[in-house]
Structure 1
Amino acid sequence: MSRLFQTLTLAATLLSAVPVTAADHTFKIGKKDFLLDGQRFQMRCGEIHFGRVPREYWRHRLQLCKAMGLNTVCAYLFWNFHEFEEGRYDWSGRRDAVEFCKIAQEEGLWVVLRPGPYACAEWDGGGLRWWLLKNDDIALRSRDPRFLAATKAWLNEVGRVLGPQQVTHGGPILMAQVENEYGFYGNDARYMGELLQMMIDSGFDVPLFACNPRGNLRNGFRDDLFSVVNFGSDPAGSFAALREVQKDGPLVCGEFYPGWFDTWGAPHHLGDTSRYLSDLEYMLKEGASFSIYMAHGGTSFGMWAGADRPFKPDTSSYDYDAPISEAGWIGDKFDQTRELMGKYLLPGETLPEPPAPMPVMSVPEFEFTEAAAIFDNLPRPLVTPAPQVMEKYGQGHGAMLYRTKIPAGPAAPLEIDQLHDFAWIRVDGEEVGIMDRRSQRFKVALPGREKEAVLDILVHTMGHVNFGKEIHDRKGILGAVKLGGDEIKGQWGAYKLALDDTQLPVLKYQPADQAGEGPKFWRATVSLEKAADTFLDLRSWGMGVVWVNGQCLARYWNIGPTQTAYIPGPWLKEGENEIVILDLVGPEKPSSSGHEKPILNDLRPELDFARGLGSKTELKLDGVEPVLEASFDRDKKDKVVDFNKPVKGSQFCLEALNSQDGKPYAAIAELDILDGRGQSISHAKWTIGYVDSQEMVGEDGSASNAINGQTSDFWHSEWKNASPDYPHRLVIDLGQQETIGGFKLVPRSGHNPGDIKDYRIYVGDGLAVEKE
């Protein structure tokens, strides 16, 4: 720890010229505890993101945090939220971080700041700026000079704005984070050192820290930077792992998960409340500090929701099954947390009563009587010899229409190397197919043409991937577009449909029954006698984006699990309100209503527009020799397995033969495939090629959880309505042939069934194939 204290002392010396007020406090990292004004301080912290909460409700939510028993709140700064356009910073409205800190201080709460540059948090691109991706070869989260220069400018701006809010200058900020979970991403301690120095240079003189999941604490570790560990269960084991790398200092859980986030097409997540409370009490008893992630999740308003790897778009609702719900409601989880916290208050602390809930209302059904077809409201195109990614055209969100002409000819397949994320293909205005990144389906059959025709590729983006190497997630068309195997030559027009404040006001609406063909913006005017919170019912709509009184509210998708969109009362008004819905696939009925309660867990896979794009797969292991046959030990540590000799293949199959406890269940938190140098192979083109069993009723045990990089969720074989016995098989399709030198398996944490014992590994090119 000596280098840590030297660094903190240096930071204080460098900033000794800054005036200190009489209200200043001291906050230090002791050998065993945090010390606030020289007294032991156990940090009972909870995460709340001001960008996910209406500004008008900040005080209400912070009062709830205080009433729950928290003495600190943790807040991210999402870089792209404050600098969406290069060099233009925005700290106003819902972005006013200073005001959030001031309200927290007024409510008796300290603040832990997490300024990035990378955040994750299921936020678009993990908070990284989309326009950095205009550089083809940039390496994000590395010592790439372009990334470091942009990061330095950002952190200097953060220091300018929030430096005065540090506890050393009379504000509430006790600590600030350097990067976020970098150990999962890389192992460059020099990179972490660069960012550490940037934070100091930008004016941070409070203790600085790094957080990592339990299995990644050593990656990028520096003994001059305080470390904390993130986990969702097993605090004893996680703190033991932390002590292996950091011998003294307070024990801190940087992210403690009471629930989990949702992705489109998967069940709504509910945390195990009894386990959460038990682990929380363990930390309280042991004197450990923690941050509940999330104490209040809120909403990823607008188009700020990110996407899990390899590509699982996140819902706009960020309810997280947190103690404080998306709309600021409280219930049993809040009450039980409050009761538990009350037993471990520090001297002089008391718990205030929770504030009253915000008013809520229902809204009778109303019709959308006007519509504006996208193809009748196109801007002027940008013309290039070949289609480029959206970022090259200066666009970070929304949709883009790519248009060119194709010659007369027979029916032939249209193929694109990669497309991010969804595309509707039209020939002379007639829809002929859909491309879908989830399944890597980038091939559509075009009909024969007797004359030259117009080819339209309407691309719709979801969030930039926010985790893993896949954060290099450029949108639009990536690579060549081929017809019948030949690249389409000629000029391409790119029509920017950013779905922003510049596009919506100029839309030309018509009566709905007279609007053109294809995707449309629909508009309704709703008269209200009062303004209060409500939940917009979107079950009759397909897929798209919603605006309320010009405010971009949310993405929606009828496949669920979320079927409503939370509208905060301050975003409505007495009298007339305008609601606009962009629907890319068309509504069953162009109407909606407002409910007093949300619909968060209504899955409807039968409505997925991609149903039928591909057949189900079947396993083909007959006659295939395993690359490896072995056994895992019983401990919960990560399992890293090296093959004696690297092998090549495009598919990887884990065949689990039995479990450690003899039960029929198999579970994996994470399965990573390593190249010949022992490095993780990019997940960008990965899909689940085959799985024999996955639980999708009792919980989200989908196979894709095993390859998304998140060790707090997991693949689990069925248990709710059936319990098929071993063997259990999982095939990962890598999307292309790779050299494979081994793999890493992370067991599900805690004392849960499903740990695999004996297994076989197969590598090949046709282990899972589509059924005839």
Structure 2
Amino acid sequence: MKISATIQTLALASLLALTPADMLAAKKGGTFTTGNKTFLLNGKPFIVKAAELHYPRIPRAYWEHRIKMCKALGMNTVCLYVFWNIHEQQEGKFDFTGNNDVAEFCRLCQKNGMYVIVRPGPYVCAEWEMGGLPWWLLKKKDIRLREQDPYFMERVKIFEKKVGEQLAPLTIQNGGPIIMVQVENEYGSYGKDKPYVSAIRDIVRQSGFDKVTLFQCDWSSNFLNNGLDDLTWTMNFGTGANIDNQFKRLGEVRPHAPKMCSEFWSGWFDKWGARHETRPAKDMVEGIDEMLSKGISFSLYMTHGGTSFGHWAGANSPGFQPDVTSYDYDAPINEYGQATPKYYELQKTMAKYNDGKKLPAIPKAPKPLVSIPKFKLTEYRPLLSGVSTQKESHQPLCFEDMNMGWGTMVYTAPLPVVQSPSTLIGEFHDFAQVFINDKYIGKIDRVKNEKNLELPPITEGSKLTIIVEGMGRINFGRAIKDYKGIIGNVTISTSDETSDIALTPTKWTNQTIPDDYGTAAQTFAAPQNKKASLKTTAGYYRGYFNMNKVGDTFINMEAFGKGQVYVNGHAIGRFWGIGPQQTLYLPGCWLKKGKNEVIVLDVVGPKGEATAFCQNKPELDKLNLEKSNKHNDPGHRIDLNSATPVLKGELKAGNGWQTLKLDTPVKGRYFAIECESSQSGDPQIAIAEVYLQDAQGTRIDRNNWVAYYADSEKGNSTLDKMFDLQESTYWQTEKGATFPHLCIVDMGKEVTVSAFEYLPRAEQGAPGSVKEFKLFVR
């Protein structure tokens, strides 16, 4: 009788947590549709106030706490991606259990009176490994990602069907919380292909989402390129944006459509080797206040970012810009689930739009923050102890050739005799260390766009060893087809008195070191590998710490070089001494009283003694670079005094893209922009994006562009932000720096230029807009 009474009490409490509309939907099913300038929930006007959360970035034990934090902020909906590659890590093997149980996450949202927006990809971006696409797709070398490639579409159909099996029963029509489902994701930033987007729409519908409202999101500058007539259209833009301008074109083509910002960026993500990103709370709060006052729906990306545990952090392009493990995002709810000053400022505004009702109380954190004294990792196994598989080949094999998704590869080859200094040349994805006869020679870092290394004279019988660690695959733009390891051949270039000589080793041994806890643990279970003779301290380190009181904490990795951490079997994430992130979040739900195991895989080796400690706050903004990340090397400043500009004149004031054509197309590898004045008269200028067009009027591929020189850069608003595929970021000069301002970009190869495209900042009035300018191509 007592058990029955308890069950009845819990059931009643669960019902009381829901609003009358929720209970009606749960009982009978409901509707969510688009009406005249508004969404309609069960036939009544409804403004979506969504919080973006990602279930794999939050330990399952904390899911409900994070949902309640969003509810207390004033949100009525949770928006989430479904990450294909975490559910199908090997082709045909699906996992929707544990931290991958997205259906349970949605049920927890409904339990707490929150609706759900599902974004099932197949591509999601999200600063996530390969944008959510599975690495094993790349085993088919000629695959065309995000196009109607038969194999790609076949696998998408299988995946989306699996998603439908999990989530279609939870749509609002079936009494669940899911009110909208997205088709693809920001496709306008990838290409123009309505037939492909239409095919994805059809697959999503056929997967069980045939009655729920389907929508697609894009930027205001490109949404018409792929907009389908039968889908709801939403815009993505960041804090500080001119909101009326962002919806202007939508209002012209669909005057009766509801307006929604499906990604209102609360902050930004961090990259290794760059400063921690922040965005003002004031801009975020004012933007949400304006949208709500105008009846505009939104999803705050991110409301809580969380952590890209293990190897799930992606990378951005042009170039290669890997993302850090923390996905704090400068969001209102920080990485470890606590309210920030941003949260409280936003909550005050959200309270005004809560129909006169008091917002729920902020829930108590599930675990306290704790510190742990320094401890030693006394057990050691050399890096080669982790070797799993081995193959011989005539040229180096990449990860995908070796059927490995994530980890490190060891390449060895006999070397020819080279009596003079030479250069090792190749494409290394992503961080290579070079040894000759087991002695360290140097590194080749893809982040720095390095592709070669000077070698000493090579004697007879010498052996080359190259260790290549793969970091996150690129998650945005055309470069998402991102193979890992050595890509193509390696050559050794040298010269004699008469000619240049290129030598190509043709006898390679390829060995894999998978990135997983099982491999790390096995190195300590097996006898020590006597052949692991590289003269390096790289390898596996194991130690333990004791806890009297379990809580959330942050393990400080500053004593180590570069690699991965596993705690009690959980993959915690990547670390890299260059920063800005120096600590990794350890959720208390993964720790225990007494003894806790820590294994560090360090592919470089610790700086001294292998020690660590845990602190009660994160360190996300501490750089340790060999040189500044500014692009102000005087040797890169090209003398333009005697050069003739290919274009000069005045740009227009205001927001939006501007295109200026050259009188005659010109060829060159570098382009320089000299800014001589601004629209406001203030010497501080900013440029959000720049494109050049080729002789056919097509935008030139920017994947090989490198920021070469800038006479002034403010904070993280460095020159590379001028061509990072993100319209909400920008190059900005320091306050007080005087005109003229000069920036130079290396396009990587000679191209033909026929036109110049310029985008100022997206905020009201386009602050920092350039007026008089000159463009040079050399």
User: TM-score normalized by structure 2?
Assistant: 0.91
Change (3 A) 1:633 1:493: same
Give the aligned residue type for 2:269.
F
Report Cα offsets for 1:131-163 as digits up to 9, x if no partner: 112233322111222222221121111112211
Q: Which amino acid aligns with 1:199?
A: V
Give the one of 300, 303, 307 matched to 1:295: 303
Secondary structure of the structure 1 residue equivalent to 2:370: coil
Letter matched to residue 97 of structure 1: V
Paired position in structure 2 for 1:556: 575
RMSD: 2.2
Matches within 5 A, 1:485-634: 485-508=501-524, 517-518=535-536, 519-589=538-608, 590-606=610-626, 617-634=636-653
Residue 762 (structure 1) aligned with residue 771 (structure 2): no
Amino acid in the other structure paired with 2:306: G
Q: Is the 8 A contact 1:658 1:759 kept in 2?
A: yes
CA deviations over 1:513-545 (Å, ceiling 9, x no partner):
x99632222111112223210011112222211
Q: Distance in 2 between matches of 1:129 and 1:574?
A: 37
CA contact (8 A) 1:389 1:475 kept: yes
Q: 1:701 aligns with which of 717, 720, 732?
A: 717
From 61, 77, 87, give the equivalent of 1:72.
77
Deviations 1:207-257 (A, max 9, x none): 100101121112212222111001112212112132233322211001011
Tell me how many residue pairs correspond in the alignment: 735
Amino acid aligned to 2:756: F
Q: State the distance in 2 between where 1:183 and 1:312 align.
A: 22
- What is the letter of the counterpart of residue 558 of structure 1? G
Deviates more, 1:628-637 or 1:39-48: 628-637
Asked if the contact 1:115/1:176 (under 8 Å) is kept, the reply is yes
Contact 1:269–1:320 (CA<8 Å) still a contact in 2? yes
Secondary structure in structure 1 of the residue aligned to 2:62: helix
Q: Identity of paired residues, percent?
A: 38
Q: Compare 119-128 and 664-673 and name the one that shifted more.
A: 664-673
Partner of 2:179: 174
Query: What's 1:34 paired with?
Result: 39
For residues 235 and 603 of structure 1, the distance between their equivalents in structure 2, rounded to whole angstroms, comes to: 35
Pick one of 236, 239, 255 that aligns with 2:247.
Answer: 239
Deviation at 1:479, TM superposition (A): 2.4
CA distance in 2, matches of 1:302, 1:680: 36
Match of 2:380 in 1: 371
Q: CA offset at residue 616 of structure 1?
A: 5.4
Aligned partner of 2:10 in structure 1 is: none
- Are residues 464 and 708 of structure 1, via their aligned partners in 2, closer, same or farther at CA, if it must alter by over 3 Å? same
SS of 1:164's partner is helix
Write the letter of the residue equivalent to 2:768. G
Superposed, which structure 2 residues align to 1:214-293 within 5 Å? 214-232=220-238, 233-293=241-301
Name 2:733's counterpart in structure 1: 717
Tell me the alpha carbon deviations over residues 647-673 of structure 1, each in whole angstroms, 9 at most, x when there is no partner: 322222222221111111121112223
Are 2:346 and 1:337 equivalent residues in the alignment?
Answer: yes
Separation in 1 of the partners of 2:518 and 2:566? 14
CA distance in 1, matches of 2:528, 2:140: 44
Q: Distance in 2 between matches of 1:49 and 1:294?
A: 9
The answer to whether the 8 Å contact 2:520/2:601 transfers is: no
Aligned 1:107-118 pairs, distance under 5 A: 107-118=112-123
Return closer, same or farther for 1:376/1:51 CA change in 2, 3 Å cut-off: closer
Structure 2 counterparts to residues 631-670 of structure 1, below 5 A: 631-670=650-689
**1:581 partner SS:** strand
The letter for the 1-side match of 2:466 is: I
Q: Measured at CA, do residues 652 and 96 of structure 1 come closer, stay the same or move farther in structure 2, by a change above 3 Å?
A: same
Asked if the contact 1:673/1:744 (under 8 Å) is kept, the reply is yes
How much has 1:438 moved relative to structure 2? 2.2
1:423-471: CA deviations, max 9, x gaps?
Answer: 1111111111211112321111111122121111111121111111111
Is 1:726 paired with 2:739?
yes
- Paired with 1:746 and 1:576, the residues of 2 have a C-alpha distance of 56
Query: In structure 1, what is the Cα distance between the partners aligned to 2:634 and 2:116?
Result: 51
Work out whether 1:52 is the aligned partner of 2:52.
no
Change (3 A) 1:516 1:420: closer
Contact 2:38 2:45 (C-alpha < 8 Å) held by counterparts: yes
The one-letter code of the counterpart of 1:575 is G
SS at match of 1:237: helix
| Structure 2 unaligned spans of 5+ | 1-24, 494-500
Contact 1:416-1:479 at 8 Å conserved across structures: no
Aligned residue runs from structure 1 range 423-462, under 5 A: 423-462=432-471
* Change over 3 Å in CA distance of 1:346–1:416 after alignment to 2: farther
The secondary structure found in structure 2 opposite 1:75 is strand
Does 1:210 find its partner at 2:216?
yes
Distance in 1 between residues matched to 2:753 and 2:37, nearest whole Å: 44
Amino acid corresponding to residue 327 of structure 2 in structure 1? Y
Q: Which amino acid aligns with 2:197?
A: M
Distance in 2 (CA, whole Å) between partners of 1:552 and 1:676 is: 49
**Which of residues 379, 389, 402 in structure 2 aligns to 1:393?**
402
Q: 1:179 to 1:440 in 2, by over 3 A?
A: same
Deviations along 1:732-755, one digit per CA (max 9) or x if unpaired, are: 212222233323222112146321
Hey, what does 1:360 align to over in structure 2? 369
Q: CA deviation at 1:407?
A: 1.6
Instruction: State the AA in 1 paired with 2:654.
Output: D
Q: Give the aligned residue type for 2:173.
A: T
For residue 115 of structure 2, what is the amino acid of its counterpart? Answer: W
Q: CA deviation at 1:350?
A: 4.5
d(CA) in 2 for partners of 1:98 and 1:265?
37
1:270, 1:511 → 2: CA distance? 46
Once residues 685 and 440 of structure 2 are traced to their aligned partners in structure 1, the CA distance between those partners, rounded to angstroms, is 42
Report the secondary structure of 1:524's partner residue.
strand
**What is the letter of the counterpart of residue 675 of structure 1?**
D
* C-alpha distance 524-607 of structure 1, shift in aligned 2 (>3 A): farther
CA contact (8 A) 2:690 2:756 kept: yes
Give me the whole-angstrom Cα distance separating, in 2, the residues matched to 1:506 and 1:680: 50
Q: How far has the Cα of 1:27 moved from its partner?
A: 0.9
- Would you say 1:384 and 2:384 are equivalent positions? no
Q: Secondary structure at the match of 2:152?
A: helix
Amino acid at match of 2:686: A
Q: Judge conservation of contact 2:412–2:508 (CA < 8 Å) in 1.
A: yes
User: Is the CA contact (8 Å cut-off) linking 1:373 and 1:517 kept in structure 2?
Assistant: no
Contact 1:372 1:516 in 2 (8 A): no
Gap change, CA 1:505 and 1:109, over 3 Å in 2: same
CA distance in 1, matches of 2:756, 2:606: 45
| Pick aligned residue for 2:691 from 672, 687, 691 | 672
Equivalent position SS for 1:194:
helix
TM-score, normalised to structure 1, is: 0.92
3-state DSSP class of the match of 1:503?
helix
**The 10-residue stretch of structure 1 (598-607 or 305-314) with the greater mean CA deviation from structure 2:** 598-607
Match status 1:470 vs 2:479: yes
The CA deviation string for residues 9-59 of structure 1, in whole angstroms up to 9 with x for no partner, is xxxxxxxxxxx9843111111121111111111111110000100000000
Shift of the 241–124 alpha-carbon distance from structure 1 to 2, 3 Å rule, reads same
After superposition, residues 726-745 of structure 1 pair within 5 angstroms as: 726-745=739-758
Task: Measure, in 2, the Cα distance between the counterparts of 1:499 and 1:429.
Answer: 23
AA aligned opposite 2:122: P
Unaligned runs of 5+ in 1: 1-19, 765-772
Give, in whole Å, the separation in 2 of the partners of 1:616 and 1:403.
37
